[in-house]
Amino acid sequence: MIISIDKKELAEAVNSVSRFAERRSTTLPILAGIVIVAGDDGIKLRATNLETGIDRKISGTIKESGVVALPATTFREITASFSGTGTVTLEHGGDTLVISSGTGRSTLKTLSYEDFPILPFPEATTVKFSIQGAQLRNLITTVAACASTSTVRPELASIFFSSEGGTIKAVATDSFRLSEKKLTVSGNTSPFSLLIPAKNILDVVQTLPDEMIEVRSDDHQCAFSCPSMMITTRLVTTSYPDYTQIIPKSFIAEATVLRKDLEASLRRSAVFSDSFQKVRVGFSTGDKKVSISAHNNDVGDSSEALTSAVSGESIELSFNHRYLTAPLSLITTESITLSASGIGRPLVIRGVGDETYLYLVMPMNQ
């Protein structure tokens, strides 16, 4: 195989594809590799870790077609270190690959590509829709932080992605907090629901370009494709809990505060939080204030009061401060509402005037 590719393009492509290669070394060596296929449909880079897989097209000239597999990490390090512009030539012979770019020349040991798995794409497509890559990325990255990191309950380590009546929703929860992001789409999208492992979909959306993406899926596999690439991921096949039932419908206290104020005062109070990272949030109707306080036996204590519009009853709840700060960077509006539904019941955080995002967090035991 002899091919030549633009340096920048190769570096960018290898960087994105290597994300899909296996990082653990215990498995099949080929899974930690990138396969380059130069043939009739151009040059393609492929990688998979058996959870997700990518097949990416790259432009370049083929002098001699062929297939080669390279260790992803090494290959990425080499391509990332290219400087200047121009092209790079890859020449495969025996069990080595020669990379020559202008003045430099490196020889790289190859892997045997026979063991490289076939990338599975959905067979009988049951779900099919299109969405802008940028919109998809926004939906997913907004909620992904709430997905569980433990694999004990696969459905909670996943993002629930669904569509109904012109709204696409992404939801994630680790059972301590939950976030939901909605997107209104024009045109008629047929209803669907997909449960995608959070780790996988994050890799997918980080790699997809901003342009229009076609999504297709069957019961087990979901593929995202655009002219330049095709990415596939496994789906989770258990059922997702009916989370809408836990979103409180009525609240006993509501407060509107400036996001910046809350963020700053939470950051200060967090210093004084205890080993459970506990801070107390008080709604006081009398003097129209939201108080944030924390107490740690070893450090000291602090309390702050934010001027705000408070309605309803006075109530005090404790939270893990991380769970409270997490949504603040994801809300774009200036002010936010905190709505409490009672002791031991969830608190809802939303941006004022922003109906698309909802964050729900459970308080700590008092």
Partner 1 sequence: MDKNSPHELWEYVLTQVELSISPANFNTWFRDGSVVKIEDGIVYVGVPSQFFRDWYLRKFNTLLLKIIRSVSYEYRNIEYQIVKDDRRKTKEIRRVSRPTVELPLDDFYINKSDNLNPRYTFESFVIGSFNELAFAAAQAAIHRPGITYNPLFVYGDTGRGKTHLIQAIGNQYKKLYPTRKVFYLTSEKFAVDYSDSLQAGTANRFKDKYRQYDLLIMDDIQFLSKKEKTQEELFHLFNALYDNNKQIIFSSDRAPVAISDIAERLKGRLASGMTIDIGEPDHESRIAIVRKKVAAHGITLSDEVTEYIATAVAGSIRELEGVINSIVCHTQVKGIPPDIAEVRQSLRSFSRPQKTVSVKHVVSKIAEFYGIDEESIYEKTRRREVVRPRQVIMYILREDFSVSYPTIGNKLGGRDHTTVIHSCEKVKREVGSDTELAKEIQDIRTLLV
Binding site for partner 1 (CB under 8 A): 26-29, 31, 48, 50-51, 53, 115, 117-120, 150-152, 154-156, 173, 175-178, 219-221, 234, 236-239, 241-243, 245-246, 249-250, 276, 278, 319-320, 323, 344, 346, 360, 362-365
What does the block give as tokens for 298?
A: 């070893």
> Do the Cβ atoms of 137 and 145 come closer than 8 Å?
no
The per-residue DSSP string of 171-209 comes to EEE-SSEEEEEEEE-SS-PPPEEEEEEHHHHHHHHHHS-
Of 79 and 148, the one with the shorter C-beta distance to partner 1 is: 148
- How far apart, in whole angstroms, are the C-alpha atoms of residue 265 and residue 269? 6
Of 257 and 362, the one with the shorter C-beta distance to partner 1 is: 362
> Do the Cβ atoms of 336 and 350 come closer than 8 Å?
yes
Closest CA to 206 of 181, 186, 233, 245: 233
What does the block give as tokens for 164?
A: 């109904």
> Do the Cβ atoms of 218 and 122 come closer than 8 Å?
yes
**Between the CA of residue 308 and those of 40, 42, 104, what are the distances in Å?**
65, 61, 63
- Shortest reach from residue 321's CB to partner 1, in Å: 12
Half-sphere exposure of 114 (CA within 13 A, CB side): 1
